[in-house]
A and B are shown apart, each in its own frame.
Chain A
């Protein structure tokens, strides 16, 4: 019985140490990739990755934002009209989107759309020995492959979150004002009274920046360290989505507590 308990504790310690080593490797990979002086040729690769990561995620972001804003407008109107406060639907839609839903939902969509693609692409490069070939030519794959993808993620997600917020607010306007008859002046006026640029909008952007860092880091490390087989790439892609989603939700709570926890 005692040996079983000791064995369980030892296994737990081994798992913890393994995860710690993985985190150290991921941190080293990231530092080696981004601690380099950019060259003129890096810009072309960055633009290419901004297209893949950012522009190609625009459609899903726009459509999701519009429908989420419309649902918020509808739900908000139904809920608030029970208290005779349907004129406050604008501030409810805006604060919900700018503070919480836009950063979190856009980041989850970004992890599913762009994060998984990054992992699969780098994993396939590893499986087909393209990364090893680059090293043979004396080119560091971390600088050439990982760095532009990382910076593209960092730049893209905050922009996508800003677009998400604005489109969602207009989606709410479409339902609340155009369909349900809320006075347009109240919609925008109450919103402008309630939303503060520093406290709400910039904090939402800060969340987006943290989520972009987490998603890009997780996706690139999973691709770079995956087993070079079809099953290995598949498992790494799944891990990227799962780990990114959990990291987004966990860090969202921590950031919300830090930013808005004492404001009640």
Chain B
């Protein structure tokens, strides 16, 4: 087998593996190194954002 092709394919696999690990760190775990203990994320969907105020009562 061509030595250049061999080295290229192994190098590409290593780069892909490390890139996957970086993506897992940044995109999947959001770059967080410790879990947020005591916090609760709240998400809400609004049909109309026009009525939202900065400090709602």
Residue interface mask B8-51, A partner, CB < 8 A = 1: 01101110111011011101111111111000010100000000
Contact A87/B43 with A51-B6, A55-B9, A159-B18 known, Cβ cut-off 8 Å:
yes
Residue interface mask A98-130, B partner, CB < 8 A = 1: 100000000000000000000000000000000
- Which of A1-9, A74-82, A191-199 is found at the contact surface with chain B? A191-199
With an 8 Å Cβ cutoff, the count of chain A residues facing the other chain is 35
Partner of A166, one of B10, B20, B32: B20
Complexed CA–CA distance, A197 and B27 (Å)? 10
- Residue A171 lies at the interface, judged by CB distance under 8 Å to chain B: no
Partner of A193, one of B20, B31, B41: B41
Do A160 and B36 have beta carbons less than 8 Å apart? Answer: no
In the complex, chain A residues 161-207 whose Cβ is within 8 Å of any chain B Cβ: 162-163, 165-167, 169, 186, 188-193, 195-201, 205
The distance from the CB of B14 to the nearest CB of chain A, in whole angstroms, is: 7
Residue in chain A with minimal CB distance to B14 = A159
Contact A196/B9 with A163-B17, A163-B20 known, Cβ cut-off 8 Å:
no
Do B6 and A47 have beta carbons less than 8 Å apart? Answer: yes
Contact A166/B9 with A159-B18, A192-B32 known, Cβ cut-off 8 Å:
no
Contact A205/B21 with A159-B16, A193-B41, A196-B29 known, Cβ cut-off 8 Å:
yes
The prevalent SS among residues of A at the interface is helix
The distance from the CB of A22 to the nearest CB of chain B, in whole angstroms, is: 33
- Residue A158 lies at the interface, judged by CB distance under 8 Å to chain B: yes
Do B16 and A196 have beta carbons less than 8 Å apart? Answer: no
Residue in chain A with minimal CB distance to B41 = A193
Do B28 and A195 have beta carbons less than 8 Å apart? Answer: yes
Do A193 and B36 have beta carbons less than 8 Å apart? Answer: yes
Do B33 and A198 have beta carbons less than 8 Å apart? Answer: yes
The distance from the CB of B34 to the nearest CB of chain A, in whole angstroms, is: 7
Q: Which residues of A contact B (CB under 8 A)?
A: 47-48, 50-51, 54-55, 58, 87, 94, 98, 156, 158-160, 162-163, 165-167, 169, 186, 188-193, 195-201, 205
What are the 8 closest A-B residue pairs judged by CB atoms, nearest first? A159-B17, A192-B30, A162-B20, A197-B29, A195-B29, A166-B20, A162-B21, A50-B10
